[in-house]
Amino acid sequence: MTEFVPENLERVLAHFKNQNLRMPLLLAKVYTFQLLRALAYLHSLGVCHRDIKPENLLIEPQTQRLKLADFGSAKVLEKGLNSVPYVSMRCVRAPELLMGNEFYSHSVDTWAAGCILACMLKGQFLFEGASNQEVLVCIFRILGTPNQEQLAKLAPEQTLAKETEIPQIQGSGITAEFSAKVPPEALDLVKKMLVYTPSRRIKPVEALAHPFFDELRKTQVSFKNG
């Protein structure tokens, strides 16, 4: 019998948005920490979830316990073996997936988690568009166009579609996308997760030790329903 968990992050985000409010920073910490802990465990087993999105993050309202759900797209990734790049919802899809790279790593989950953390901090997704190309351009506008070294890691020549155009854009930077009320340690973690070169993205197990979560380690966090 499957456990019933009444809420998910998608509805929690909608609740705050409908009231024109930002999610409390403490909640963002609690949810992100639990997501990273789940990913650290999965990745230690060689499993890539490949469908990290708010709808798949179930939440128990009384305890704020988060559980990762829907493993229909999960796969054990093996070096040298290709996988379909059409995974994850588009606004959290890693750039290598958007470029059609079939030889990606578990770090696509890290990118998706970084997008979700950014959404909790900002109140909306950073990268949105109606097509892969539109989302890529949105990413470029914030992070800047990847250089040749980064591009080679994201999309080897044999996987980058010939019709894909790479516009040269000077990015505005992640910090510019957020309110001054968002603390620097939160932005630092987002920046470490949303890195072009997949191997340089912070690993979930490393992210758990990030200063962004110091408050959770120093205090006993409890929540009451209502």
What are the boundaries of each domain within the chain? 7-210
Q: For residue 120, report the phi and psi dihedrals to the nearest 5 degrees.
A: -65, -35
pLDDT more than 90, % of the chain: 83
Widest CA span in the chain: 54
**Active site positions, annotated:** 51
Reported pTM: 0.92
Whole-angstrom CA distances from 14 to 10, 17, 124 are: 6, 5, 10
Span 7-210: which CATH code? 1.10.510.10
pLDDT in tens, 138-159: 999 999 999 989 998 998 764 5
Q: How far apart are CA 218 and CA 74, in angstroms?
A: 34
The pLDDT value recorded for residue 165 is 63
Across 181-190, average pLDDT: 97
| Half-sphere exposure in the Cβ direction for 185 (13 Å, CA) | 13
Residue 93, C-beta contacts closer than 8 angstroms, at least 6 positions apart: 87, 108, 111, 112, 132, 135
Q: How does DSSP assign 129-152, residue by residue?
A: -SSHHHHHHHHHHHH----HHHHH
To the nearest whole number, what is the mean pLDDT of the chain? Answer: 91
The pLDDT of residue 163 is above 50 = no
Q: How far apart are CA 93 and CA 100, in angstroms?
A: 11
Contact status, residue 83 vs residue 77, Cβ threshold 8 Å = yes
